[in-house]
Structure 1
Amino acid sequence: MVNVLSTNKQSWDEAAERFFGRNPLPEYGPMAPCEDELNLFGDVKNLKVLDIGCGSGHSLQYMKEREAAELWGLDLSKKQIELATTLLENSAQPVRLFESPMEVNPGLPYDYYDIVYSIFAIGWTTNLEKTLANINSYLKKGGIFIFSWEHPLYSRIGNKDGVLTFGKSYHEEGSYDHEAWNSTAIMQQFRVSTYINALVDNGFQIERVIEDARWSEEDAQRHEKRWYTYEKAKAIPTTLIVKCRKL
């Protein structure tokens, strides 16, 4: 695990500028429904929020603008934490950021947060069970956990000359080096059922599972010849979104 974390840390330190402000809340992922439509968070005013994989801090900035009481975040990348610190330095709310992998508690309080969320970051974990157990321990009873991640089908299916084909079995799970990255980046591949069952096993009640896609004429041009393409999104969801609650 240490080697994977070290590799991913280096990859994110190198890629941080390239991903600055990309797809933060209210977006959940490329060509996916936005929070403005889904309203999964509801009113966050005066609530304590924690961002798992906070990146450049733009999702926390979204929470700041909606008057969350406290802004907390953690990220594996030192560079990302530096960018988030700069972005949020003039916040009226308390901001506490930690450079840490999500599998480790870097000093976060237990039974404290009203909302924990993770936008397109959960698949970087090296231990899904440990990460979800940590998240459950941070939340108050009845607290909400919301996450989005690349849909498990998306990387398994390729698009060659308009023909969609399976590149590997949906049943295959585990770590893989993501081909869309410029350097080595080790992510985790799980089925939808694996996420759902792991959440249940770690004390969560599932409230919503969303696999919808959204696109526009702008998306057809914006995502041309990229990893997330308009052509594939018409047939396969790019993003899995789950809302659950601590029992």
Structure 2
Amino acid sequence: MRQNKYDEDAFFQIYSKMDRSVGGLDAAGEWHKLQTLLPDLKDKRVLDLGCGFGWHCRYAREQQASSVIGVDLSENMLQRARELTNDSQIEYRQMAIEDSHFEQNQFDVVVSSLALHYIEHLPDVYVKINHCLVSGGSFILSVEHPIFTARAEQDWHYGAQGEKLHWPVDRYHEQGQRIASFLNHDVVKYHRTMATHLNELIRAGFVIQQVAESKPSLEMMEQVPGMSDENRRPMFLMIAATKA
């Protein structure tokens, strides 16, 4: 059974109030870097896997993509995406990423933002993505960083006064399921090492073009309290690859 926390009303209500849920891409701390990994989207056919509220779908159309398909398992997510979208060239489909199937060479660009760390059998998904991309097509993804996912606690080590002393890393090479607390709810995620992330893409037929690790912009560090702590460890891993 596919995990679908976002259709649980209590969880979705909390998620909907997050800064990135309200402010979109500009409120996402990693967007200023992820944006630079994207190829020219003009006249491109784009697929967004785990599209959520559709922020990347609408951005692709703003960059003159010819068409966009957004896929998400959550009915709540897609309902909000449709409410925010007024564009006949964006189509939203409800399905799990693992169950998605598209024709060979159907897309020029595939994007997936902060969704793939929820998937257990990720190599199978990478093979499907490679299949639906044209030769030389681009795959841009972001996931929670292995330094962040290694421990299920996903939290700082605190001092006696509640100060953040350091970010502990443990069980790094023990890959697999982690039950983490996210928005005060238990969520199942899957930890992979940096090497595994890259090698699974290579085995699926991709060529790695660029790797980036999240770091907040100076502007965001000045505007958001506590954001400077994000410089002490990367929360997200971003990879740009092309189909060989």
CA deviation after TM superposition for structure 1 residue 12, in Å: 1.0
1:169-193 deviation line (CA, Å, top 9, x unaligned):
2112111122123323111111111
User: Is the 8 Å Cα contact of residues 158 and 167 (structure 1) preserved in structure 2?
Assistant: no
Structure 2 equivalent of residue 135 of structure 1 = 129
Q: Give the AA of the match of 1:82.
A: Q
TM-score by length of 1: 0.83
Quick one: distance in 2 between partners of 1:166 and 1:195?
21
Shift in alpha-carbon separation, 1:48–1:16, aligned structure 2, 3 A: farther
Structure 1 equivalent of residue 118 of structure 2 = 124
Structure 2 equivalent of residue 103 of structure 1 = 98
Shift in alpha-carbon separation, 1:171–1:119, aligned structure 2, 3 A: same
Q: Give the AA of the match of 1:158.
A: W
Structure 2 equivalent of residue 30 of structure 1 = 29
Give the number of equivalent residue pairs: 230
Shift in alpha-carbon separation, 1:50–1:126, aligned structure 2, 3 A: same
Structure 2 equivalent of residue 56 of structure 1 = 53
Instruction: Report SS of the residue matched to 1:210.
Output: strand
- Which segments of 5 or more consecutive residues in structure 1 lack a partner in the other structure? none
Shift in alpha-carbon separation, 1:33–1:65, aligned structure 2, 3 A: closer
Q: Give the AA of the match of 1:104.
A: D
Shift in alpha-carbon separation, 1:217–1:86, aligned structure 2, 3 A: closer
Correspondent of 1:158 among 152, 156, 159: 156
Shift in alpha-carbon separation, 1:212–1:80, aligned structure 2, 3 A: closer
Shift in alpha-carbon separation, 1:48–1:141, aligned structure 2, 3 A: same
2:229 is the alignment partner of 1:235: no
Quick one: distance in 1 between partners of 2:228 and 2:82?
34
User: Is the 8 Å Cα contact of residues 26 and 34 (structure 1) preserved in structure 2?
Assistant: no
2:178 is the alignment partner of 1:176: yes
Percent identical among aligned pairs is 26
Q: Give the AA of the match of 1:99.
A: Q
CA deviation after TM superposition for structure 1 residue 72, in Å: 0.4
1:80-134 deviation line (CA, Å, top 9, x unaligned):
122222222x2142x22221111112x5322110000111111111211111111
Structure 2 equivalent of residue 67 of structure 1 = 64
TM-score by length of 2: 0.84
CA deviation after TM superposition for structure 1 residue 204, in Å: 0.3
- Which segments of 5 or more consecutive residues in structure 2 lack a partner in the other structure? none
User: Is the 8 Å Cα contact of residues 52 and 81 (structure 2) preserved in structure 1?
Assistant: yes
CA deviation after TM superposition for structure 1 residue 215, in Å: 3.8
Q: Give the AA of the match of 2:240.
A: K
Quick one: distance in 2 between partners of 1:145 and 1:239?
16
Shift in alpha-carbon separation, 1:32–1:61, aligned structure 2, 3 A: closer
Shift in alpha-carbon separation, 1:87–1:126, aligned structure 2, 3 A: same
